[in-house]
Structure 1
Amino acid sequence: MEVVLGQVEQLSALLVVSRSALVRDWDSLTLDRALEWARYFQHLYDRFRARPELREALGRRLRRAQPYPLLGFPTLGRCPQLVGLALLENRALPPAACRSLLRSLLQPPGAGTGPEPRGLALLARRKAAACLLALPRRPPRCPPGQEPQLQAEAQLLLNRLREEGQEVGEAAGQLRWLCGVLEQLPQPRAFEVVAAALALLKQGSGAEQAGDRDRDGTSLDGYQANAAEDGCTAGLLLSWLLGNQERFSAFCLCLPCSLLAFLAGHYSQLSRSYLDLLTAWGSHLLYDPLQGRWIKSCFDKAELSWEELRERFRCLCQGSTLLKEQTQAALKLLKTQDGDFKVCGLSVWSDLLMEVGLIVLIGLSALVATSMLL
């Protein structure tokens, strides 16, 4: 077994060389040896995937490899694709070796014997999908967080996260993989993808539940099983998001308040943390009697203006009944702790509660008036 572990450590070197200028000296024989090593690593994956102890040992050895911090046991199963794609994108590969590579990918050993495509067709589909997602984006015609490209990226993230769960079988391994992937994305984009993924989990579960009810009226066994899996996936996304206060603060500043209110209405962990964060931001506002309004007391600490803070609380109060009650209860508690003032300018929480309550009353009045007209 120690020999196998030593061989597995060479996977990172194989991937590095496949993307380097060293391949300019490769001939067809060298290329064949590289592809044989890739298929050997895939064979190890197929052989040990059902043996947790050996699988974990291989995964630990792979994670030591540099400069590929994201290597793990599932990488072994994708090794032929990873090496093939690296060589296809490497312009240093000589023409003769490139033609040999194409022939190998078109007719890989054992082609057609398995249920999954493992050759050029799979690489072509993935490359086409990557090119399609990289096309210049047109002005979005849908709400923030619902752009097709963002939805596709979020769905891909969810699919890969579920695959990691099936292959790795432990939440810690999934979380390590998730952290590595998201840290490679620019921070605003990572936040948008995570938010879209969390929204997709709730939208998908709602549609599935409705479909189950349409089919048999009361049977929700399938829905409950999928809901449990979605709950685990959402828990991993929330663990990454809420595990770092600076990251969560940047997440809330990056996204529209309407999307944050939607997520807060479906994830209690997020709603509590979001309210705590808004409380911290509101505590840095001071009332300026000359201007007659709340202003930032310290520009390096006060993240939101009075208007922005009010808009965020307003969105929360326009969410679900539970979220609205939770938000108003938090504001009432803060108002009481601040002295329970009923005069403007003495407590930011009193003023927020009055304005948010007024907005809610105006909305209810409009609804009643509309119903009377109907």
Structure 2
Amino acid sequence: MEALLEQVAQLPGLLAVSRSALVRAWDAPTLGRALEWARYFQHLHGRFRARPRLRAALGRRLRQGQPGSPLGFRHLGRCAALLGLALLENRALPPAACRRLLQSLLRPGAAAEAPSLALLARRKAASRLLAPAPRPAGSPAALEPQVRAEAQMLLARLREEEEEAEPGGGRAGEARERLRWVAGLLEQLPQPRALRVVAAALQQQRGGDEEGLRGRAGGGHVAGPLLSWLLESQERFSAFCLLLPGSLLASLAAHYSQLRPPYLDLLTAWGSRLLYDPLQGRWHNSCLGEAELSWEELRERFDCLCRGPALLRGQTRAALELLKVQDGDFHICGLSVWTDLLMEVEKSLRKEEEELASVDNICYPVLSL
């Protein structure tokens, strides 16, 4: 078994070399040996995919010593495809080795085990299609098609990790390993993009995006590593909340209870640093140059939370009322930011209720005819 694990551990190196300039030294026989290894790995996948313990052991060995590695057991079954795509895109591959590769890919029956040139073309076209169009400077951040696609792939991989986990294994150890993998993957991206991918994945997992993946059994385990990565750093979570609109954050907080206390704590910290200017009659930031919310943004965030489901709405209003009492329980504007926020939120909710009531009064005679 140990010899088999050592053989499988060579796959990451083989794929890394196939994408590097080292293939300049490959001749046709070297390429042939690489393709033979790929077919051998596919054979192992077919042999062990129905044996959960061995499948989990092989997956762990593929990731051993490689934090953030995207490889798992399922990649053994696609090894020829991965190797072929990497070599076809590598301009360093010598002509003789390239001809040998094309002969291997185009021989009868090869389509079942290796990618065709059409597959490569489709993948390149898809990457162009999904690339986001440039946005005008200052336009609000959105979850672009590319971000949603990356989120779907991230969720799919997390689900596969869940399925490949060794039955009866330690949950704590598995959670740590999954968190390391998620961190290694997301930290390769620029932070704003990584945060948008996590937001899109959490949104799709909760079923909020009709084009995304639907939640299913085990969904809590899938979202768990994403939430842990997001919440393990106060700076990261603060950037996440600054980047996303209040409506999306309220939707996520309504579904993921782990997000509610830290989100309310963050809003509280931002609100406590606002100062009232009696000459202008408005609240403003006391820390110039720091990335924090303005009064208008803070009010909008609390308003979104108070328009959410009953539990979230009740927790938010209770938090505002407690802050108001702790700050002196004033009832006059300009003395406490929490008094003013609570008054603004209640006024907004009353206005919404009055508008709904007026619509009901208009519709009722029509419906009763």
Q: Percent identity?
A: 66
Change (3 A) 1:40 1:123: farther
CA distance in 1, matches of 2:348, 2:132: 42
CA distance in 2, matches of 1:108, 1:56: 34
Are 2:139 and 1:133 equivalent residues in the alignment? no
Partner of 1:275: 264
Are 2:191 and 1:187 equivalent residues in the alignment? yes
Shift of 1:185: 2.2
Partner of 1:167: 164
State the one-letter code of the partner of 1:193: V
Q: How many equivalent pairs are there? A: 351
CA distance in 1, matches of 2:77, 2:190: 28
Cα offsets for 1:74-110 (capped at 9, x unmatched): 4434332222221111101122321221232234877
Are 2:251 and 1:244 equivalent residues in the alignment? no
CA distance in 1, matches of 2:271, 2:291: 8
Q: Look up the SS of the partner of 1:328 in the other structure.
A: helix
Superposition RMSD on alpha carbons, in Å?
3.2
Q: Look up the SS of the partner of 2:284 in the other structure.
A: strand
Change (3 A) 1:345 1:233: same
CA distance in 1, matches of 2:65, 2:114: 25
State the one-letter code of the partner of 1:286: L
Change (3 A) 1:267 1:65: closer
Shift of 1:250: 0.8
State the one-letter code of the partner of 1:31: L
Change (3 A) 1:144 1:203: farther
Structure 2 length as normaliser, TM-score? 0.82
Shift of 1:278: 0.5
Partner of 1:217: none
Q: CA contact under 8 A between 2:132 and 2:146: conserved in structure 1?
A: no
Shift of 1:50: 4.5
* Greater mean alpha carbon deviation, residues 127-136 or residues 277-286: 127-136
Q: CA contact under 8 A between 1:81 and 1:118: conserved in structure 2?
A: yes
Change (3 A) 1:136 1:347: closer
Shift of 1:69: 4.2
* Greater mean alpha carbon deviation, residues 321-330 or residues 117-126: 117-126
Extract unaligned runs of 5+ from structure 1.
Answer: 209-222
Change (3 A) 1:205 1:13: closer
CA distance in 1, matches of 2:291, 2:278: 19
Shift of 1:360: 1.2
CA distance in 1, matches of 2:69, 2:148: 27
Are 2:248 and 1:263 equivalent residues in the alignment? no
Structure with the larger RCO, 1 or 2 (CA within 8 Å, 6+ apart):
2
Partner of 1:211: none
Shift of 1:71: 4.3
Partner of 2:153: 156
State the one-letter code of the partner of 1:276: D
Q: Look up the SS of the partner of 1:286 in the other structure.
A: strand
CA distance in 1, matches of 2:120, 2:76: 16
Shift of 1:309: 0.9
Partner of 1:353: 342
Are 2:24 and 1:24 equivalent residues in the alignment? yes
Cα offsets for 1:276-309 (capped at 9, x unmatched): 1111111122223343322222236661121211
